Structure 1
Amino acid sequence: MQKIMAGAIFLVASLTAAQAEDLRVGVDLTYPPYNYFDESNQPAGFDVELMKLIGKKSGGNVSFLDTRFENLILGVSGGQFDVIASTLYVTPARAQQIDYVPYMKTGVSIAVSASGGQSFAKPEELCGKRVGSIKGAAWIPELEKLNETACAGNPIDSREFPTSPEATQAVMSGGVDAQLENSAVLADASVKLNGRLKVTSTEQLYPVIVGFGVKKGNEQLATFLRETLAGLEGDADYEALFSKYGVAKSTEAEFKDAIAQ
Structure 2
Amino acid sequence: MHILNKGLSPLLVILLASGLIACSSKSEPKNAKETTQDVAQVFKVGSDITFPPFEYMENNKPEGFDIDLMNGILKKGNINTNFIDTRFTNLISGLESGKFDAVISGMYITPERLMRVDMIPYFKSTESVIVLSDSTYIPKVRDDLCGKTIATQKGSLFPDQLNQISKESCITKGKKAITVREFDTSPQAVQAILAKAADAQYDDTSVARNTVKKLNQKVKITSTEPFFPFIGGIVVRKGDTVTYNHIEDGLQKMKQSGEYSSLIKKYDLIAPTDEEIKVFMDHIKDKK
Structure 2 equivalent of residue 6 of structure 1: none
Per-residue CA deviation, residues 128-160 of structure 1 (Å, 9 max, x unaligned), is 111111102213222222232221131111111
Structure 1 equivalent of residue 101 of structure 2: 82
CA root-mean-square deviation? 2.1
How far is 1:233 from its partner?
2.4
Per-residue CA deviation, residues 65-94 of structure 1 (Å, 9 max, x unaligned), is 000111111111111111111000111111
Structure 2 equivalent of residue 142 of structure 1: 161
Per-residue CA deviation, residues 187-219 of structure 1 (Å, 9 max, x unaligned), is 111112111111101253311100011122222
> Retained in 1: the 8 A contact 2:142–2:169?
no
> Retained in 1: the 8 A contact 2:45–2:81?
yes
Q: Report the residue type matching 1:227 in the other structure.
A: D
Structure 2 equivalent of residue 16 of structure 1: 20
Task: Pick the aligned partner of 2:200 from 178, 197, 205.
Answer: 178
Task: Pick the aligned partner of 1:63 from 64, 67, 82.
Answer: 82
2: CA distance, partners of 1:237 / 1:224:
17
Matched, 1:113 2:132: yes
> Retained in 2: the 8 A contact 1:99–1:217?
yes
Matched, 1:27 2:47: yes
TM-score, L = length of structure 2? 0.80
> Retained in 2: the 8 A contact 1:108–1:183?
yes
2: CA distance, partners of 1:141 / 1:69:
15
> Retained in 1: the 8 A contact 2:74–2:247?
no
User: Gaps spanning 5+ residues in structure 1: where?
Assistant: 1-11
1: CA distance, partners of 2:286 / 2:147:
31
Per-residue CA deviation, residues 10-33 of structure 1 (Å, 9 max, x unaligned), is xx98x9249x97421001111111
2: CA distance, partners of 1:202 / 1:55:
38
Q: Report the residue type matching 1:204 in the other structure.
A: P
Q: Report the residue type matching 1:37 in the other structure.
A: M
Task: Pick the aligned partner of 1:49 from 68, 80, 91.
Answer: 68
- Give me the identity figure in percent: 34
2: CA distance, partners of 1:229 / 1:118:
42
Structure 2 equivalent of residue 37 of structure 1: 57
How far is 1:227 from its partner?
1.9
1: CA distance, partners of 2:285 / 2:179:
27
Q: SS of 1:58's equivalent?
A: coil
Provide the aligned length of Structure 1 versus Structure 2. 247
2: CA distance, partners of 1:260 / 1:166:
35
TM-score, L = length of structure 1? 0.88
Task: Report matched runs for 1:196-215 at 5 Å.
Answer: 196-215=218-237
Greater Cα offset, 42-51 or 232-241:
232-241
Matched, 1:125 2:151: no
Q: SS of 1:210's equivalent?
A: strand
Q: Report the residue type matching 2:157 in the other structure.
A: A
Q: Report the residue type matching 1:30 in the other structure.
A: T
2: CA distance, partners of 1:17 / 1:101:
22
How far is 1:165 from its partner?
0.4
> Retained in 2: the 8 A contact 1:208–1:258?
no
Structure 2 equivalent of residue 255 of structure 1: 281
Structure 1 equivalent of residue 7 of structure 2: none
> Retained in 2: the 8 A contact 1:91–1:138?
no
1: CA distance, partners of 2:73 / 2:268:
19
Q: SS of 2:269's equivalent?
A: coil
> Retained in 2: the 8 A contact 1:139–1:206?
no
